[in-house]
Amino acid sequence: MSWLRNIASGLRSLFRRQQVDRELDEELGAYLEMAVAERMRNGLTHKEALRAVRLERGSLELTKEVVRSGGWESVVDTLWRDLLFAARMLRKSPGFTLVAILTLALGIGGNTAVFSVMNTVLLRYLPLPNPQQLVFLRLPNGPPDGLSTTGDDDRSFSYPVFEALRKEHAVFSDLMAYAPLAVDKVAVRTGEDPEEAEGDMVSGNFFSGLGVSFTRGRGFALEDETAHASVVVLSYSYWTTRFGRSPSAIGQTIYVKGVPFTVIGVTAQGFYGIEPASSTDFWIPLQNRPELNAWNEEGPLSNLYSNPKWWCIQLIGRLVPGVTESQALAKLDPDFQSAAHIGLGTPDPKAKKTILAFSSTQGIQGMRDAYQKPIQILLAMVGLVLAIACANVSMLLVARNATRAREFSVRMALGAGRGRLLRQMLTESFLLVGGGAALGWMFAISGSQALAAWSGMEIPFVLDSRVLLFTLAISISCAIVFGLAPLRSAVSVPVGVTLKTSNATAYRDQRSSWSGKVVVASQMALCLILLIGSGLLVRSLRNYQGLPVGLRVDGLLVFGTDPFSVHSDEEKEHFYQNLLARLRETPGVESATLVSHRLGSGWGWNSVWAIDGVKPQGPFSEIGMSANHIGPDFCHTLGIPILRGRDVADADARSAPKVVLVNETFAKRFFPKGDALGHSVGKKEPESRFTIVGVIGDSKYKRVDEKAKPTLYFPFAQNTPIPNMQVELRTQGNPEALIPSVHAVLHGLDPNLPIQKPLTQRAQFEESYSQARLFARLSIFFGVIAVLLVATGLYGTLAYRVDRRTSEIGVRMALGAQRGQVLWLILRESLLVSGAAIVAGVPVAIAGTRLMRSMLFGVQPGDMISFLLALFGVILVALAASIIPARRAMRVDPMVALRYE
């Protein structure tokens, strides 16, 4: 292996240089001595002999050089020397270096962070072996009619379908089933502390089929599924937060909704489950106990996951290598169709056909459509920031190299080739970019964490090898641009000119000042585009924030409860009455009420009702509208105005006459002339007839940006079965300060009960526009960086120009120019540059902002105010950046300036 030998020998010369040099010295010494000795035998003196040898064989010093530079290691050595030299040059101007590295780090870090979001949401596969083979099973047409379905009805199947498809070994090497235990989280207790955690129940082959590896213990086996074993696997992050990564977690008991499970394994780090955009904390085998039904579904005992009419199971399959998706679907379809109709009788030939389809596991399931465009726009915005940053750094470099023109001229006069200078400048720029990229990577780590927190996603945005590659690619292109851009101006200076003139600034290249202005103008144009984009996003956010919600939002705390140990309506009513009574006595609580669908959570209850005295418009006898279960003092606690009638009271209990509140939209739509009070809404059964006792103001239900819909509010105990309720507390002080006392109250009622997702009502409503808020915050951040960069860039350029024109200004003033005229001379330059930027930037912005339409709320892409504000901002930045140089120019003393030359 001669190349190995070559490398080893080269490394030896690099790292044991002294010894290698000594050996070479000794070898050449011996050579010289032998040569001289032979000449002396022929009768020459020592001195003559030395001279003869040198003439004949060449200088030994030169030989050493030749031998040293003969191997590959000499290239490394030169590079290393270049690097050291570059580092020394950069250390000499720490201000420049710091600014350049920080600027680059902001640009590179921002891009990396945003790209990490794109990577996670759109590009990345599940961190499992051969993820390309994995497919989610979907129902693009929805499930057949006549079933119980879940919120995810386009990807939920029945157990018979799973049983039929998992036998298709020619298609799937494994088909895994999973079902969430709740929409959000379920009550989990370890030791004394109840809390809520996200759990799935899964088939026995879930972990083995996906190829999940384990940090501790084992996954499930098929027997665990058939026996519905009481064992649980924890995720690495849950193991970390709950058990501090203690090995003794294995074998411990945790209670899921009060049912004991034994911990048997912990998954590997980086596996967050396969639920979209959320991280699963634990997994249990499929269970057939009513309290552990999928989706926290309550109801008759027969209605468990194996019921063919309860489509609650989600499926992910691993395709057999070599089977294409279309082949697989064709093979699966007959069995799927027959399994899908088990328990449903003969399918109606006129009904829509149920279709089986696959979706890729790349990115986050279901988020691709919603996020693709916004992420691309964010990436474009942060790309503009990087472009501005790059331009700044390259201008800094040009300016710096201009002041180093003498150094370059001297070096070229001493025989340094242009190639040598080029190499050195490239080394310097690689060093700068390397520093910027390293620092930027650190920014990106915290940046992507902040982005994950702001976007409300539970999974981290992973900085994996793809992101690293992206960062390296943009960094290297930056380095090459910087290295080359300043070179032209540096080496195109004729050596003679710079060396001859006493004043190093005397050589002025009209071209380079022109190109400097073009760079600044394009920077400002980019900044303008960015500011217009930010303005639109911020105005969208303000439009969301300004939406009236119809209630007093501040001073409200909302949290959820899941009293899983009480089952009958009687017990449940008692539980909630008891809970309200205790909460009302809690210090700090002004009033308390209940609501089944938390306001602003995005979830709601649509229901159909008949209204007495109102004819249905459609073919159905009942009218669809929104509905909610509420507790006593609902309007009083939330601050919703009562327009007619009364609020719900404690007396509106299960056994009391049935009543209902309606909102203003309901009253106006169905009783435009008369009075809604005293009418009733109901179903066919005579016992479900509710008398309207109050008309209350419209308030937002699912989201802040919804249109008002007719809405019914039922006293929670009167519309059975009683669902799980959310609690709303009104307080004078900080709502979140109530959380500990709420904990205590719940613990007093049942030690297994956690407090579910406590939030202020304001924060809850803000969730409806968390995406808009994220975009607005980011764009403000990008805008601020861009403005700072442009301001420093323009300031630098102008200051440099004023510096160079000092003598010109002196002459002008000596000839009678007024200070105002001098001021105008400088300001005019910066205004001209801004003008050019505006002329170039506005048309691009008009075209570009059209792409943002889907991200805007209540503003048009061509929004005048956003454009004007951005224009104003850019001109302000231009003026602010030129004030200091302009004042300096104004203060030039003609005498001093003229003596300068």
Partner 1 sequence: MPDKPSDLVQGTLDMLILKTLALEPMHGYGISVRIEQMSKGVFRLNAGSLFLAIQRLERDGLIDGEWKATENNRRARYYILTKKGRKRLDSETREWGRQAAAIARILEASEG
Q: Does 213 bind partner 1 (CB under 8 A)?
A: no
**Which DSSP state fits 722?**
P
Q: Does 2 bind partner 1 (CB under 8 A)?
A: yes
Give the nearest distance from C-beta 65 to partner 1 in angstroms. 8
Q: How many of the chain's residues bind partner 1 (CB under 8 A)?
A: 28
According to CB under 8 A, which one of 11, 15, 21, 34 is a site residue for partner 1? 34
According to CB under 8 A, which one of 14, 40, 51, 71 is a site residue for partner 1? 71
Evaluate the CA torsion angle 575, 578, 580, 586 in order and state its sign. Answer: negative
Best CA proximity match to 151, nearest among 458, 597, 713, 544: 597
**Which DSSP state fits 450?**
H
According to CB under 8 A, which one of 19, 21, 22, 30 is a site residue for partner 1? 30
**Stretch of 1-9, 42-50, 139-147, 367-375 lying at the interface with partner 1 (CB under 8 A):** 1-9
Q: Does 26 bind partner 1 (CB under 8 A)?
A: yes
Q: Which helix (H) or strand (E) holds 831?
A: helix 819-850
**Stretch of 59-67, 130-138, 172-180, 421-429 lying at the interface with partner 1 (CB under 8 A):** 59-67
Q: Does 12 bind partner 1 (CB under 8 A)?
A: no
Residue with Cβ nearer partner 1 (63 or 513): 63
Q: Which helix (H) or strand (E) holds 694?
A: strand 689-696
According to CB under 8 A, which one of 11, 62, 351, 581 is a site residue for partner 1? 62
Give the nearest distance from C-beta 16 to partner 1 in angstroms. 15
Report yes or no: 628 and 714 within 8 Å, Cβ to Cβ. yes
Q: Does 74 bind partner 1 (CB under 8 A)?
A: no
**Stretch of 21-29, 316-324, 441-449, 565-573 lying at the interface with partner 1 (CB under 8 A):** 21-29
Q: Does 63 bind partner 1 (CB under 8 A)?
A: yes
Q: Does 31 bind partner 1 (CB under 8 A)?
A: yes
Residue 726 β-bridge partners: 560, 595
According to CB under 8 A, which one of 11, 15, 16, 27 is a site residue for partner 1? 27
Per DSSP (E only), the strands in 546-600 are 556-560, 589-595
Report yes or no: 900 and 810 within 8 Å, Cβ to Cβ. yes
* Contacts (CB under 8 A) with partner 1, residues 139-158: none
Q: Does 367 bind partner 1 (CB under 8 A)?
A: no
According to CB under 8 A, which one of 18, 42, 56, 346 is a site residue for partner 1? 56
Q: Does 350 bind partner 1 (CB under 8 A)?
A: no
* 303-309 LR contacts (CB < 8 Å, sep 24+): 303/148, 305/159, 305/179, 305/201, 306/159, 307/158, 307/159, 307/343, 308/158, 308/159, 308/160, 308/342, 308/343, 308/344, 309/146, 309/147, 309/148, 309/158, 309/343, 309/344
Under DSSP, is residue 670 helix (H, G, I), strand (E, B) or coil? helix
**Stretch of 33-41, 127-135, 326-334, 464-472 lying at the interface with partner 1 (CB under 8 A):** 33-41
Q: Residue 155, exposed/middle/buried by CB under 10 A (0-12, 13-18, 19+)?
A: buried
Give the nearest distance from C-beta 8 to partner 1 in angstroms. 9
Report yes or no: 178 and 160 within 8 Å, Cβ to Cβ. no
Q: Does 50 bind partner 1 (CB under 8 A)?
A: no
| 65 Cα distance to chain centroid | 55
Residue with Cβ nearer partner 1 (69 or 446): 69
Task: Give the whole-angstrom CA distance, residue 470 versus residue 533.
Answer: 24
Per DSSP (E only), the strands in 127-171 are 134-138
**Stretch of 35-43, 236-244, 419-427, 474-482 lying at the interface with partner 1 (CB under 8 A):** 35-43
Q: Does 192 bind partner 1 (CB under 8 A)?
A: no
Give the nearest distance from C-beta 420 to partner 1 in angstroms. 22
According to CB under 8 A, which one of 17, 19, 25, 33 is a site residue for partner 1? 33
C-beta atoms surrounding 91 within 10 Å: 9
Q: Does 75 bind partner 1 (CB under 8 A)?
A: no
Give the nearest distance from C-beta 36 to partner 1 in angstroms. 10
**Stretch of 27-35, 363-371, 577-585, 827-835 lying at the interface with partner 1 (CB under 8 A):** 27-35
- Would you mind telling me the total number of residues written for the chain in this entry? 901
Q: Does 6 bind partner 1 (CB under 8 A)?
A: yes
Residue with Cβ nearer partner 1 (10 or 308): 10
Ordered DSSP codes for 728-781 = EEEESS-GGGGHHHHHHHHHHH-TTPPPEEEEEHHHHHHGGGHHHHHHHHHHHH
C-beta atoms surrounding 245 within 10 Å: 13
Task: Give the whole-angstrom CA distance, residue 273 versus residue 101.
Answer: 39
Q: Does 832 bind partner 1 (CB under 8 A)?
A: no
Residue with Cβ nearer partner 1 (60 or 83): 60
Task: Give the whole-angstrom CA distance, residue 690 versus residue 719.
Answer: 9
Give the nearest distance from C-beta 50 to partner 1 in angstroms. 13
C-beta atoms surrounding 113 within 10 Å: 27
**Stretch of 4-12, 173-181, 194-202, 825-833 lying at the interface with partner 1 (CB under 8 A):** 4-12
Residue with Cβ nearer partner 1 (22 or 245): 22
Q: Does 11 bind partner 1 (CB under 8 A)?
A: no
Residue with Cβ nearer partner 1 (37 or 351): 37
Counting runs of H as helices and runs of E as strands, what totals does the chain give? 27, 23
Give the nearest distance from C-beta 42 to partner 1 in angstroms. 13
Best CA proximity match to 35, nearest among 15, 14, 16, 51: 51
Task: Give the whole-angstrom CA distance, residue 683 versus residue 22.
Answer: 103
What residue ranges bind partner 1 (CB under 8 A)?
A: 1-2, 5-6, 9-10, 23-24, 26-28, 30-31, 33-35, 37-38, 56-58, 60, 62-63, 66-67, 70-71
